[in-house]
Amino acid sequence: MAQILRDRIDKDGKVLNDRVLKVDSFLNHQVDPHLIMSLGQAFADHFKDRQVTKVLTLEASGIHIAFATALRLDIPFVFAKKRPASTQQGSGVYTAEVESFTRGQTCSITVSKDYITSEDRILIIDDFLAAGNAALGLISVVRQANAEIVGVGIAVEKSFQTGRKRLEDEGIEVLSLARLKSMDPATGVEYVKE
Ligand code: 5GP
C-alpha cells in the first residue's frame, strides 16, 4: 500500500515549499476513491485484531479516509466538527483547541458526547501528520470521554516535523502509510527508508 501512495505523491503531488505538500488532485480537493479505499484497507488490515469500535477524524480532509477505514472494519466513524452546529448543545460536547497547520488559525473542535463513550476503543485517522496538533486535539476528545485510543493512522506523515514524536511521547502507536523525510520544490519528496 505504502508504495501506491508514494507513487501517487511522486506523480501528482506538488511540493509548494519545504514544509507543505499539495495533494489536491487526489486526496484533499478532488478525490480518487480507489486510492482512498486502498488507504482504508491498509489501516483496517493493520488494526483489525484490536477491537476498534469507532474511527474518529476531523472534518473535512480526514472524512473520506475515515469512511473507507470504518467501512472495511465494519464499524461507524465520527468526525469532529470545526464549527459547532446549532444542533450541538454546549454541555453535550467534548471540545479541544486545535491550531491549524495550513491555515494558521486556532479553532475549537467538537464531538457530541452521544457518539464517544467510555466503552469505545478509538482509531484516529487523518490525512496528514505535521506538528501533531490535529491528532492531539482528537486524542484530548477521546480522553475526555474516558475511551481507549487504539492508535493513530495517517496517510502522509511529514517525519521532519514533530508530530510523530509528540504522539509517541503520549504512548500512542502511529501507523503512517507514507513517511516524508524531506521535501524540496526543485527535487520533490524524499521518503523515510523503512
Ligand atoms: P498538524 O495538526 O499535525 O500540525 O497538521 C495536520 C493537519 O494539517 C492535517 O489535518 C492536514 O489537513 C493539514 N496539513 C498539515 N501539513 C499539510 C501539508 O503539507 N499538506 C496538506 N495538504 N495539508 C497539511
Do residues 153 and 123 touch, judged by C-beta distance below 8 A? yes
Is pLDDT at 88 greater than 90 in this prediction?
Answer: no
Helix (H, G, I), strand (E, B) or coil at 27: helix
Q: How far is the CA of 158 from the centre of ligand 1 (A)?
A: 9
Is pLDDT at 90 greater than 80 in this prediction?
Answer: no
Residue 182 binned pLDDT confidence (cut-offs 50, 70, 90): very high
Question: How much is the average pLDDT of 143-156?
Answer: 98
130 CB less than 6 Å from ligand 1? Answer: yes
Residue with cell 491498509: 42
Mean pLDDT (the chain) is 95
Report the amino acid identity of residue 70: A
Is pLDDT at 158 greater than 90 in this prediction?
Answer: yes
pTM attached to this predicted model: 0.97
Question: How much is the average pLDDT of 133-140?
Answer: 98
16 CA closest ligand 1 atom index: 19
- Sketch out the chain's domains with CATH numbers: 2-191 (3.40.50.2020)
What pLDDT shows up at residue 83?
81
Q: Residue 186, preceding bond cis, omega within 30 degrees? A: no
Q: How far is the CA of 184 from the centre of ligand 1 (A)?
A: 17
20 CB less than 6 Å from ligand 1? Answer: yes
Helix (H, G, I), strand (E, B) or coil at 93: strand
